[in-house]
Amino acid sequence: MTATTSSRPAAARAATWTPVLPTVISRGAAALVEVLLYLVLTIGVAIVEYYVAGPFTDFGPSNWWIGFVIMAAWTGWHWAGAQGPVGSYVDHYIADLDGMPACFSCIAVRQLTRFGVLFGLPFLILDSNVVLAVALAVVSGAMIAFTPDRRAPWDLIAGTVISQSLAGETTRTLPILTKPSDLQLSNQRVAENKRARRVLQSAGVSSIVVSGLIVWSIFSEAWEFVAASDFSWGLLRDIGWFPRRDKFDLSTLFVGTLWITGIAMLVAGPVGLGVAIYLSEYAKPKVRSIVKPAIETLASIPSVVLGFFAISFISPSVLKPGGSVFGIDFGIFSLLSAGIAVGILTVPIVASISEDAMRAVPQELREASYGLGARPVTTSLRVVFPAALSGISAAFIVGISRAIGETMVVFIAAGGSGGAIFEADPTKPGQTITAAMASLGAGTDSVAGSGIAFQSLYFLGALLFIITLVLNVASDAIVRRFRQVY
Amino acid sequence: MSNTAKTSATGRPSLGSLQKRRTADVKGQVFLGLLLLAVGLAVAMVLAVLFSVIVDGLDVLGSRLWSFLSNPSSSDPEKAGVVQGIRGSLLIAAIVSVVAFPIGIGAAIYLEEYAEDNTFTRLIEVAVRNLAGVPSIVYGLLGLAVFVQSLRGITGGSSVISGGLTLSLLVLPIVIITASEAIRAVPSSLSDGAYGLGATQWEVIRTQILPAALPGILTGAVLSIARALGEAAPLLVVGAAAFYTTGFQGFLDQFQGAFTALPMNVANFAKLPADNWAGHAAAASVVVLVVVFFINLVAIIARARITKKLGR
């Protein structure tokens, strides 16, 4: 590397820069070595576990492979990082922030994270081998603490030593810009830009591909159902929905869906709107910072949990506290109970979209209203609410669309799995479009061969797709058409 | 009453105190009362869900937490556990991050940086917006038709690969939308500066826009994993098993064999007769909630730290 520099004239030497740059080869080699080290470590751990824990258990032998594959993939993906991906990520995001160089505890934390996550966790979760997980973390932590540079030894070997020993050949001479053509983009950079654009564009097209796949896969099967069921309203109006016995009564499912959606919006509409008005017009910042995360928590609760909540709490404790209310005999499974749970799921959607709409109303309108002597209630209801009406109605439409599409709550809590007879009473079990699909889907394999039951699954999917699509397009259109431009 | 006369609840000085009005603001008080009732109801809903599930699950979690987390499914309530669900959910999270993140973030970069304003771009945007509103069970149908049936040779039918790919498509629009928002929030002065120095578009994206948008992109990505881990409906249609046993498994069987996921465990327990299994459903719910909240927490903390590190 010195040969190139010394042969240049003195003036140019100032502009020659000889950093130790890793090359493609050195980085690749480093990554390879790191992968090999992980592999050796993985096999070593496997051997240790074999002797510590005895012969392989049901879930045993695969777990180191999971760990290894994760790390190898990570390395492969991040191989350009010269030192191991684990090292560079964890070092940067945890150690540096903790005020690196010397603190022992932050090194310990770093290593615990590193090994705990990548090696310990699979053992902990899948093998319940606590001892091994903790031992791995402690041993590796100690190793790091006594290694120069406070890096893991394998990082030192893989990253520093190998990449630097191979890196000598690349000396870069900084270009000296003397004439305008020096400023021209090199072909390489232009080509790189074009390549990136092509790759990213194909990622962008993915959404169209997915939409196309949905439409194609659903409607082709749905058409078979329509063709095979000599589609007529007479046939579709039967005693109930029992696809496995060729009874396809859509009105059963429509009534169920209407009840669920109606009840859900009765719960979510007032509560969501009230929360939105309170948060945007009344709440002080401090109250807001408590209430808003609480509502958002509701949004992150998975719907299966709400479904279980409906049969474990809403039905027995709310609808039927010790006997029956109003002489109505509530079972555990009812449309009402499921509808309330779906409503709870819909509250955060209505609340957050409406709140965004109301906060978007410019402050001047409120100030003008207060300036005219209006009270908060008048300002909220007569000034802010009308101005935000398009956003609020969009919120309701999105909420309805979500309630129609909600599956697991109804599947678990509304009863009527497999089929349901026509039932217009919400205190009784019933079935919705989505729950009927879930029941069909849960027995996919057994359904596949029998008549057109399998195709009815796709027919319902097509219906659901069209309904929600219309609602979503409508809400978009409302927002766009009635948005007041301030 | 005297409160509202002096300052409004938002802290803005109102003219009420100057007006010498003595009539009580009945309407305002009733309205505020209704609002507070709504907020109270909403918060009560959150607490009721969390507490009732935790209380119901305490029985199982308290008496045999470890065996519940480490046992496979079983017909014996004393032995049944969720380890298969945990493993399925981990693999699904891995598949979603490998498949949905690169495609979603790539699409977002294309839409925000490269795409011209033409029909093709608008078509993509409309597709993304509508995909975000498609009910999750419809994605299950897509997965059933494409991954389980058409690509059976690769995915092995109803396998964790099919489930993971289906959920990847499900969260794809979420990743695209959140990443687009993060990229849009990057101040244009950053990219203008880089362009001024002669960088190509890709160099600007790589060196300026992506690092600055990273916190937002990561948060959206992590939250989409939380979403994928809470979904059960698509997996139900794709064919997650309610109950399966495994002996010694080869490497590929891990991915192509029968599978289940944590939310499926909850649904399956909840569908069994309540006398024996309600506690299990609640306990599995608690596990799902812990996982989902933990991921959300990671997203929040990661965002705060990276933002701090970038000095913004």
Q: What is the pLDDT of residue A3?
A: 40
Residue pointed to by tokens 């991954």: B147
Q: What is the pLDDT of residue A270?
A: 93
The predicted-structure confidence for A59-109, as pLDDT tens digits, reads as follows 444 455 555 665 555 555 443 333 444 444 444 433 333 333 334 444 444
Asked if A126 lies within 8 A of B87 by C-beta distance, the reply is yes
In the predicted model, is pLDDT for residue A363 greater than 70?
yes
Asked if A208 lies within 8 A of B123 by C-beta distance, the reply is yes
Q: What is the pLDDT of residue A347?
A: 93
Could you tell me which chain B residue has the CA closest to the CA of A458? B141
Taking the CA of residue B22 and the nearest CA in chain A, the distance in Å comes to 14
The predicted-structure confidence for A171-223, as pLDDT tens digits, reads as follows 445 556 666 666 666 777 777 888 888 888 888 888 888 888 888 888 887 77
Average pLDDT over residues A354-375: 89
Domain parsing of chain A, residue ranges? 12-173, 240-482
Query: Measured between beta carbons, which residues in chain B are less than 8 angstroms from residue A464?
Result: 135, 137-138
Return the CATH architecture of domain A240-482: Orthogonal Bundle (1.10)
Q: What is the pLDDT along chain B (312 residues), one digit of tens a residue?
A: 444 444 445 555 555 555 555 566 778 888 888 999 999 899 888 888 888 888 888 888 878 777 777 777 777 777 777 777 888 888 888 889 888 998 999 999 998 888 888 888 888 888 888 888 889 989 988 888 888 877 776 666 777 888 899 999 999 999 999 999 889 888 888 888 888 888 888 888 888 888 888 878 888 888 888 888 888 888 888 877 666 665 445 555 566 667 778 888 888 888 776 667 778 888 888 988 988 888 888 877 777 776 676 654
In the predicted model, is pLDDT for residue A267 greater than 80?
yes
> For residues A214 and B138, is the Cβ–Cβ distance under 8 A?
yes
Query: What residues contact B85, with CB distance under 8 A and at least 6 apart?
Result: B260, B261, B262, B263, B264, B265, B284, B287
Asked if A304 lies within 8 A of B169 by C-beta distance, the reply is no
Of B12, B200, B248, the CB nearest to A185: B200
Q: What is the pLDDT of residue A252?
A: 77
User: Could you report the predicted ipTM of this complex, rounded to two decimals?
Assistant: 0.83
In the predicted model, is pLDDT for residue A138 greater than 80?
no
In the predicted model, is pLDDT for residue A326 greater than 70?
no
Could you tell me which chain A residue has the CA closest to the CA of B202? A193
Structural tokens at position A382: 């007569």
Give the three-state DSSP class for B20: coil
Structural tokens at position A309: 């909540």
The predicted-structure confidence for A162-175, as pLDDT tens digits, reads as follows 444 544 444 445 55
The pairing of strands A240-242 and A247-248 is antiparallel
DSSP B18: G
Query: Measured between beta carbons, which residues in chain A are less than 8 angstroms from residue B69?
Result: 125, 128
Residue of B4, B39, B109 to mutate when probing chain A, most A C-beta within 10 A: B39
Give percent of chain A above pLDDT 90. Answer: 9
CA dist B179 and B174 (Å) reads 8
A24-50 burial code (b ≥16 CB/10 A, e <16) = eebbebbbebbbebbeebbeebbeebe
Could you tell me which chain B residue has the CA closest to the CA of A122? B87
Taking the CA of residue B33 and the nearest CA in chain A, the distance in Å comes to 10
Q: How is B94-150 classified by DSSP, letter by letter?
A: HHHHHHHHHHHHHHHHIIIII--SSHHHHHHHHHHHHHHHS-HHHHHHHHIIIIIII
The predicted-structure confidence for A32-72, as pLDDT tens digits, reads as follows 666 666 666 666 666 665 555 544 444 444 455 555 665 55
Of A59, A376, A458, the CB nearest to B141: A458
> For residues A279 and A292, is the Cβ–Cβ distance under 8 A?
yes
CA dist B4 and A163 (Å) reads 71
All domains of chain B in start order, with CATH: 82-309 (1.10.3720.10)
- Residue in B277, B306, B266 with CA at minimum distance from that of residue B82: B266
Size of interface A-B (CB pairs under 8 A): 350
Asked if B288 lies within 8 A of A211 by C-beta distance, the reply is no
Taking the CA of residue A7 and the nearest CA in chain B, the distance in Å comes to 31
Asked if A97 lies within 8 A of B86 by C-beta distance, the reply is no
Could you tell me which chain A residue has the CA closest to the CA of B224? A300
Query: Measured between beta carbons, which residues in chain B are less than 8 angstroms from residue A444?
Result: 144, 148, 158, 237, 239
